[in-house]
């Protein structure tokens, strides 16, 4: 699976808060379970975290650790 690396426009906005991403500490995210489509840009980890939480993107996707079992994941 290959992707092309490109620098976003200087005026690219955060998917979550719509701030200019380069005014902060930008993060690029791609959904590589869906052909690594277009990147989504967030201005910082707080916006990424809030976006994940509000859209329930971790529901059903995380390993459940049980300290009583020896085989996890």
Taking only the tens place, the pLDDT of each residue in 5-51 is 778 999 999 999 999 999 999 999 887 766 677 889 999 999 999 99
- Structural domain boundaries, residue 46: 9-59
Report whether pLDDT(71) > 60. Answer: no
Q: Is residue 1 part of a domain?
A: no
Tell me, yes or no, whether 30 lies in a domain.
yes
* Domain total of the chain: 1
**Residue 23 located in a structural domain:** yes
What pLDDT was estimated at residue 67?
Answer: 66
Top pLDDT among 43 and 57 is at 43
pLDDT over threshold 70, residue 2 = no
| Token pair 């707080």 in the structure block, residue | 46
Note whether 57 and 48 are within 8 A (CB): no
- 2: buried, middle or exposed (CB in 10 Å: 19+, 13-18, 0-12)? exposed
Cα-Cα-Cα-Cα torsion 48, 50, 54, 55, nearest 10 degrees, comes to: 10
Within-domain flag for 26: yes
């Amino acid at each position: 699976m290959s992707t092309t690396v490109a620098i976003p426009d200087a005026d690219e906005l955060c998917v979550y808060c719509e701030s200019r991403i380069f005014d902060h500490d930008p993060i690029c995210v791609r959904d590589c379970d869906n052909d690594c489509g277009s990147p989504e840009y967030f201005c910082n980890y707080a916006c990424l975290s809030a976006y994940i939480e509000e859209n329930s993107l971790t529901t059903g996707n995380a390993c459940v650790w049980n300290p009583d079992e020896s085989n996890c994941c």
